[in-house]
Amino acid sequence: MSIQGTTTPVLETTAPRRHLGRSIWSVVAGFIAVVVLSNGTDVLLSKLGVVPPLAQWHTDKLFVWATIYRTVYGIIGSYVTARLAPQRPMKHAMIGAIIGMALGTAAAVATWNKDMGPHWYPIALIVVAIPTAWIGAKLLEAQRRGTSN
């Protein structure tokens, strides 16, 4: 638009929406990665006879193993979130962790007296959410520093 020979810049309103959509997608994609990997591992280990079906888990040892691989998958999911984030990857990974902690807390409360495993298990998953998100985002930062040299 021109007024007496000057040009007035047109404000771009689609970029913030696009960033918001990409931000939401990055967090959702991280969650999808964790759910697919966790549930896939549960099913695979059960099909291979390594562990009984999930509803029959009664030993702490099985829950320790599940905690370990879910922690690794949390790191992978946070890396995915950070990688897909349009900007500020650590912030996106932490948002995913906070949402995961809220969902984990709700699930722990809902299942607390349902004899679905040891009480320490859901608490452990809640506690590791922030560290796994931080590690996932830091891995991305380290990878980007390594490729920029």
Asked whether residue 13 carries a pLDDT value surpassing 60, the answer given is no
Q: At 32, list the tokens.
A: 């999808």
Q: What percent of the chain has pLDDT over 70?
A: 88
Confidence at residue 18, expressed as pLDDT on a 0 to 100 scale: 73
Q: At 52, list the tokens.
A: 């009984």
Tokens 């980007």 belong to which residue? 144
Confidence at residue 5, expressed as pLDDT on a 0 to 100 scale: 56
The burial of 103, by beta-carbon neighbours within 10 Å (0-12 exposed, 13-18 middle, 19 or more buried), is given as middle
Number of H helices, E strands in the chain: 5, 2
Confidence at residue 4, expressed as pLDDT on a 0 to 100 scale: 58
Confidence at residue 147, expressed as pLDDT on a 0 to 100 scale: 83
pLDDT tens digits for 97-143?
999 999 999 999 999 998 888 999 999 999 999 999 999 999 999 99
Tokens 């702490």 belong to which residue? 60
For the chain, what is the mean pLDDT? 89
**Is the sign of the CA dihedral 149, 140, 63, 52 positive or negative?**
negative
Asked if 96 and 77 touch (Cβ cutoff 8 Å), the reply is: yes
pLDDT bucket at 28, cuts 50 / 70 / 90: very high
